Amino acid sequence: MIIQWFPGHMAKAKRQMEESLKKVDSLVYVLDARAPYSCINPEFSDLIESKPVLYVINKCDMVESSDARAWAAHFEKTGRKVVLTSGTVGRDAPKVLSALNEINREKIERNAKKGIRYAVKAMVIGMPNTGKSTLINALCRGKKTVTGNRPGVTKGEQWVRLPGGVSLLDTPGTLSHSMKSEEVGLHLAFIGSVRDAVIDTTELSFAMIEFFLRKFPQNFENRYGTFEGKTGREILSEIAKKRGFVRKGGEADLDKAALAVIDDFRKQRIGKIILETPDEI
């Protein structure tokens, strides 16, 4: 299943980000802990090479802590500063601010020698639905930006001033024009970075079922039962009937069952699932 989705507002957002780069000192790159590699947008490469970057691996409460730490170690080996945060961020906010000041320390100290108390400016970037606005709200200790559990909520740039004088520029989540691979596209669709409305969710659920049977068979069996030697379509049909998703005449409603399976993954009813690990890339 090939995933491609790049609406016009994302192209505009990318251009705005490039124009705004000169206004900021550094970048906060928010990644979803379930798919950190897939959340690295190759079209951001020019941005992240020109400024200090803080990687925030968000939603770490949705994966095993050992998996989150493995990704942090992987990115740290490439010279990146990394902070792990939960989906609600909250208590993690102070360490994000501390790390942000750390990657800007040279500029802060240079200004301090001139008697200037410098206020850091940073741009927050990332794929859709990784939790950028939620992170900013937590850092603000209150609701300052619009958030939502779906991609495309932030439509334009928003400046937010934090306690201590730090200013953050929130930007819309931006996908790549072309996915790095079919697998990357699927992973982004699994975590909701691609709008469900623009893809075939039934086909997506087949891919998700195949993924679970290959990588997390016990989790899948614990949630849905055993389906020896059956195809994704056959399995989804059985799940539909077990859940009571049946059309007139007794036909399984695959569309409803597909949405249920996708929701089960996103709500962790199948367990704490990571879609990719550093040793797989």
**Residues of the chain where predicted confidence (pLDDT) is lower than 50:** 146-155
Residue 144, pLDDT score = 60
Length reported for the chain:
281
Tokens linked to 210? 């195949």
- pLDDT tens digits for range 183-232: 999 999 999 999 898 899 999 999 999 999 999 999 999 999 999 889 99
Residue 205, pLDDT score = 97
**From CA 201, how far away is CA 280, in angstroms rounded?**
26
- pLDDT tens digits for range 133-154: 888 888 887 656 544 444 444 4
Q: What CATH topology corresponds to 200-280?
A: Conserved Hypothetical Protein Ylqf; Chain: A; domain 2 (1.10.1580)
Residue 153, pLDDT score = 45
Alpha carbon distances (Å) from 184 to 92, 164, 189, 245: 28, 38, 9, 30
Contacts of 99 (CB under 8 A, 6+ apart): 54, 81, 83
Ordered DSSP codes for the chain: -------HHHHHHHHHHHHHGGG-SEEEEEEETTSTTTT--GGGHHHHTTS-EEEEEE-GGGS-HHHHHHHHHHHHHTT-EEEE--TT-GGGHHHHHHHHHHHTHHHHHHHHTTT--PPPEEEEEESTTSSHHHHHHHHHTS--S---SSTT---S-EEEEPTTS-EEEE------SS-SSHHHHHHHHHTTSS-GGGS-HHHHHHHHHHHHHHH-HHHHHHHH---TT--HHHHHHHHHHHHT-B-TTS-B-HHHHHHHHHHHHHTTTT-S--S--GGG-
- pLDDT tens digits for range 218-229: 999 999 999 988
Residue 4, pLDDT score = 60
Task: Give start-end residues of each CATH 3.40.50.300 domain in the chain.
Answer: 8-170
Task: Give start-end residues of each CATH 1.10.1580.10 domain in the chain.
Answer: 200-280
Tokens linked to 152? 């495309």
Tokens linked to 216? 């997390």
- Return the CATH architecture of domain 8-170: 3-Layer(aba) Sandwich (3.40)
Residue 150, pLDDT score = 47
